[in-house]
Each structure stands twice: as C-alpha cells, then as structure tokens.
Amino acid sequence: MDDLLAFLQRNRPPKSLIFDSQEAIYSTKPFLSFLKIKPEIHKMPKAITPPQSFLNSMKVAGGKFSFERSLTLETPTFIPKGVRFYETNSIGFLSYLSEESRFFNTTIGRYCSIAESVFSGIQQHPVDRISTHPFTYNWSLNPKEDLSCIFSPFQEYQAVVDTKAPLPNKDVPRTIIGNDVWIGRSATIKPGITIGDGAVIGSHAVVTHDVAPYTIVAGVPARTLRQRFDDKTIEKFLKLQWWLYNISPLRKDPSYTNVELFLEKLETLIKEDHIEMLRPETYILENENGQCRKHVL
C-alpha cells in the first residue's frame, strides 16, 4: 500500500485531462503519460464529445457529454455535462437527461424525464468466478482492449491478471426505457430490463425486473407501489400512444390535466384523421476513429 500511495503521489494525472469540444476528441496522451505506457501499445476507450456547432444545429441543449460508438437523437433534446453513453444508445423527442448519468446500450423513448446519476444497463462484475475483481478477466492488459484498470502499471497486478479470460457479460442485452417515463435520482437499471411506457422509477431504486406500463416502482430491489391510473385508462393510453402524434392542437384545450378528456379528444382526432404523426428531426452521431460524424435520418 505504501508503494501505491508513493507512486500516485509522484505521478498525479494532469488537470488537463478533459474533453475538447472543438476537436471532438478525448485526448489520451496525458493519462497514458501518467501511466508511463506507450499510446501505440495500450489505448484508452475512444470516447468523444460532439462539437458545440453540431449540438446547436441539431437542437441539442445542455453541456459537454461523451459517447463511445453511436448515439441516435430525436430533437429537440437535453443532455447536460457529465453524461456518458457506452456502446450504442438512442434518445427520443423532448426527453431530457440530468448530470452524471451513464447509459450502456439503452433506448430511451420520447418525453422521458431522467434525473441525476441514473445508471442504465451498465456491465456488471462476475459473481461466478473466484473473485469479482477485474484480475479475473481480460480488462486492461490486452493491447486490443481499453486501458481502464488503475492497477495496470504495477507488476504485481500483471502477475495475477488473466488476460485470456473473457469479459463478463460480454453480450449485454439492450435496455429499453419506454415513452413518458420518469426516473428518479440515482436509480440503477440492470441490463436487459424493459421499462414500460408511462412508468415511474423512484429515486435510488434498483430495477432488476421489467416494469409494466404506467406502474410506479421504488426500493431495493424495486417493487410495485401502485399504478398511475386504472386498468381501463392504461389500456386506452397504450392503444392511442399519444407520443406518436403532434399533440399541439390539443394544447388549446385544458385537457392536459384532464386525462379522460384528453384521451377522448385524441381518439376523435385520430379517427377523423385530423391529427398528424410526430416527425421530429432525427440524427445519428457516430464515432469514426475518434472523430464525431453527424448523419441526418
């Protein structure tokens, strides 16, 4: 332990290890220099942040966030600083996220409200090996993998790490967050979970099973507290799927607070073909060799 503390004291990482929105590249050089490892041998994850000019043109408000592979966006949307997307993710129309949240292979529907420090679909440590510690799987020493373990510079770690063992949960199933979902602060959603339309997840909840539409859950593990509406009303919500339409004509009436009246008027407009489908501007951001590329759908 004394050797570790001494090493960290002598080799503090530079404060300049931040995202550069102008170049849209996550610079690995300062960190690699700190670890005294050649960049051409060991590489950090190529997480990038989109240039501000991209975000402005796409109607994406918020701050500096990063993604690894691709991010599909229906805009407008709001993504603040500190949010990170792992692998491929998507966000629906007018959904907003909050600071320091993490998403791994997650689909987020339209009109979602997601609070701070929400973790969705993040990979887990193995529980069926001799240890849950990363020395039991190939995490950091293979040149083709990312250098992300804090112990990688030390020979003691290199002597015990199994570089041939596969990553745990390598094929992580996709996590689905439906439309009009509200997720409270510091909630955790396990990989592969489906959260139904209109559901509410309480703060600090740990969601280990699928959540039915329009259901309110909370706790560790999350358990059902109640439904938002009666069965008949929920059935009508799911039948009409208001988030698929441009509901601006209904804004003139005080029907947002009157659920029965809103659904009745929406159903009439749909039957009479007097309401348009919602067609938001949609973009795909892709990480192409460390550069951010924007594509219009």
pLDDT in tens, 206-242: 999 999 999 999 999 999 999 999 999 999 999 999 9
Residue 83, pLDDT score: 96
Which has more pLDDT, 134 or 295? 295
Position 295 pLDDT exceeds 80: yes
Among 24-33, 67-76, 102-111, 166-175, the minimum mean pLDDT is found in 24-33
Say if residues 78 and 58 touch (Cβ distance below 8 Å). Answer: no
Instruction: Tell me which amino acid residue 80 is.
Output: P
Say if residues 242 and 236 touch (Cβ distance below 8 Å). Answer: no
Domain positions in the chain are: 39-122+174-228+281-296, 124-171, 230-279
Residue 134, pLDDT score: 80
Position 193 pLDDT exceeds 60: yes
Asked whether the CA dihedral 266, 269, 272, 275 is positive or negative, the reply is: negative
Q: Which CATH number is 39-122+174-228+281-296 given?
A: 2.160.10.10
Could you give the residue numbers annotated as active site?
Answer: 125
Residue 170, pLDDT score: 65
Residue 184, pLDDT score: 98
pTM value is 0.78
9 burial level (CB within 10 Å; 0-12, 13-18, 19+): exposed
